[in-house]
């Protein structure tokens, strides 16, 4: 997998989310933030996450959707349970994934991070296909940007967020960063 100069992954299906803007001029991309998402919560598959990131989630399609349909959020990447990789925001732009956040004493993590959403929930293990795709993506991002760390959303917003959750295998993820991409 490769990331081009605009920050697009060659193996991702791309759909441009309107929920992004320019990064600050002096921003250096140095943080990967790993999230989980499912809509409705605990339900996998379907287009609800894509619809949320594209501002077209139907608030009457499910009772939970009425709570989140008005949010203007996005992530750079979304990895489905089967390993399919979608991209909503080029890495050169700031996706709206972290919200109020802080890492190593620095606020506004959206300014200098890349958001990666895994289709999942805090109480459901992630799939082998997701770990494989996440590892390949992270290696490509490390090759393109001076990534200093990978963290969970819970690490940068601990009072608000719990994802990627206790079932995310950080040891497995970190080991995948050292594996070559054999594609």
Q: Which residues are marked as active site? A: 117
CB within 8 A of 92, min separation 6: which ones? 5, 6, 7, 23
Residue for token pair 């967020």: 161
Q: How far apart are CA 123 and CA 129, in angstroms?
A: 18
Residue for token pair 């996998």: 44
DSSP for residue 182:
-
Note the Cα 43 to chain centre separation in Å: 18
Q: Euclidean distance between the first and final Cα of the chain, in Å?
A: 7
In what helix (H) or strand (E) does residue 85 lie, and over which residues does it extend?
Answer: strand 85-87
């Amino acid at each position: 997998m490769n990331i081009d100069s605009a920050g697009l992954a060659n193996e991702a299906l791309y759909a441009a989310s309107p929920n992004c803007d320019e990064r600050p001029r002096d921003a250096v991309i140095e943080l990967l933030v790993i999230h989980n998402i499912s809509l409705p919560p605990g339900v996998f598959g379907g287009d609800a996450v894509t619809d949320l990131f594209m501002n077209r989630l139907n608030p009457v399609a499910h009772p939970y959707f009425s709570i989140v349909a008005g949010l203007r959020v996005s992530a750079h990447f979304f990895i489905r349970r089967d390993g399919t990789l979608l991209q909503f925001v080029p890495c050169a732009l700031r996706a709206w994934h972290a919200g109020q956040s802080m890492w190593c004493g620095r606020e506004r993590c959206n300014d200098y991070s890349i958001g990666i959403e895994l289709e999942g929930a805090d109480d459901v293990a992630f799939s082998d296909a997701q770990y494989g795709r996440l590892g390949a993506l992270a290696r490509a991002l490390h090759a393109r940007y001076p990534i200093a760390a990978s963290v969970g959303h819970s690490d940068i917003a601990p009072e608000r967020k719990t994802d990627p959750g206790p079932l995310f295998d950080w040891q497995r993820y970190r080991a995948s960063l050292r594996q070559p991409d054999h594609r």
